[in-house]
Amino acid sequence: MSWTLIIALGLGAYAFKVLGLVVVGARTLPPVVERCLALIPAALLSALIVKDTFSVGQDLVLDARAAGVAVAVLAAWRRVPIPVVIVLGAATTAVVRAAF
C-alpha cells in the first residue's frame, strides 16, 4: 500500500465528514434519524464481532471462538463486569482449543 493511497483515503474520509457538516449544518435531525444514528456503533461492532467469530478468509467456520463469544455474551447478559467477561471469553476459547 502506497503513501499516496493512504493520504487519498484519509482525505476522502475527512471530506465525507465535512460534507456531513455542510449538508446538515445547524439543523436538527428528526428524532427517528437521531435514534437510528445512535444505534449504528452497536450494530457495526456486533457485525464485526460476528464476522471475525464465524469466518476465516472466505469460509464460514464454527470453532472455539464461537464458544468463547457465547460464554462472553451469557456473562454480559448476566451483568458481569467487563474485565471478567473478557477473561471468561478468552479462557473458554483457550480451553476449547486445548480440548479439541
pLDDT one-digit tens code per residue, 24-45? 778 888 899 889 989 999 999 9
Using CB atoms within 10 Å of the CB of residue 49, give its burial: 0 to 12 exposed, 13 to 18 middle, 19+ buried.
middle
User: Coil, strand or helix: which one is 25?
Assistant: coil
1 pLDDT tier (thresholds 50, 70, 90) = confident
Task: Kindly state the average pLDDT of the residues 81-88.
Answer: 97
Mean pLDDT of the 58-77 span: 94
Q: Give the pLDDT of residue 20.
A: 83
- The whole-angstrom distance between residue 3's C-alpha and the CA centroid of its chain comes to 27
pLDDT score, position 74: 97
Q: What is the pLDDT of residue 10?
A: 95
Name the nearest CA neighbour of 63 among 16, 28, 11, 98.
98
Angle 56-83-60 (CA atoms, 0-180°, nearest 5)? Answer: 15
